[in-house]
Amino acid sequence: MTYDLRRRRNTLRLRDPACAGLENLSGFEAALAAGWPPDPRRAGDQAYIRGELQRLRQDKSKFLDDLNLGDRQRTVSASPLTVLLFWIWDREFCGSINLRFHQGTEELPPEVSGHVGYSVVPWKQRSGRATAALGLLLDVAAKQGLTRLVVLCDEDNDASRRVIERNGGQFFMRGPHPSDRPERTKLYFWLHPAPAA
């Protein structure tokens, strides 16, 4: 590790895209233009990335509205799933992270691959940003009353695995997930948000 994680934690923040506003959408646009997929499962899917960029350039306000899932809920397995989306921010756009859960329970339906998803733009990777962002998201989860999260990564995703482990992730299972192709082996971890003070 060649960076100061404590300093990174102090300088990084999670921003609600709605509050960041249109004037800060340019970093997201630049990331898409450089080929960054906001959804990590769509890495390399150029049609998806180009489509997102086109949608953003057509109507920035609408794109931002759609992005900002905020307290909005989408229905999964017949019950509303809350998705809290944040931009990872260090004076500019670094990537995104989200927390998804059903109110009042720590159970997740099979369509949802864990409570957390994150992605950092390639030119800002390997400097502690994802590790710090996940630490900040644990505080958000604690405020939502969640005491135990399930977080998954692909077996060969060493970076994501390190991010989870550095935040106290406890490995408990290896195997596929119903939301992904059966040949993709995932590592499953528990993460424990500290209770809100």
Ligand X SMILES: CC(C)(COP(=O)(O)OP(=O)(O)OC[C@H]1O[C@@H](n2cnc3c(N)ncnc32)[C@H](O)[C@@H]1OP(=O)(O)O)[C@@H](O)C(=O)NCCC(=O)NCCS
Using CB under 6 A as the binding criterion, the count of chain residues that bind ligand X stands at: 20
What are the helix (H) ranges across the chain?
Answer: 5-11, 17-20, 26-33, 46-58, 60-67, 129-143, 158-166
Binds ligand X (CB under 6 A): choice among 64, 108, 127, 187: 127
Binds ligand X (CB under 6 A): choice among 28, 52, 160, 191: 160
Using the minimum distance from each CB to ligand X, give the nearer residue, 8 or 72.
8
Residues forming a β-bridge with 76 = 79
Binding positions for ligand X, 50-79, rule CB under 6 A: none
The CA distance from 89 to 27, in Å, is: 10
- Closest separation in Å from C-beta 145 to ligand X: 24
The CA distance from 55 to 121, in Å, is: 20
Binds ligand X (CB under 6 A): choice among 14, 119, 138, 188: 119
Binds ligand X (CB under 6 A): choice among 9, 13, 15, 40: 40
Binds ligand X (CB under 6 A): choice among 69, 153, 187, 191: 153
The CA distance from 96 to 89, in Å, is: 9
**Residue 119, exposed/middle/buried by CB under 10 A (0-12, 13-18, 19+)?**
buried
Binds ligand X (CB under 6 A): choice among 106, 157, 168, 190: 157
Q: Is 126 in the site for ligand X (CB under 6 A)?
A: yes
Q: Find out whether 30 and 154 touch, Cβ atoms under 8 Å.
A: no
**What is the phi-psi region of residue 105: left when phi exceeds 0, alpha when psi lies from -120 to 50, beta otherwise?**
beta
- Closest separation in Å from C-beta 186 to ligand X: 9
Residues of this chain that bind ligand X (CB under 6 A): 1, 40, 118-120, 125-131, 153, 157-160, 162-163, 166
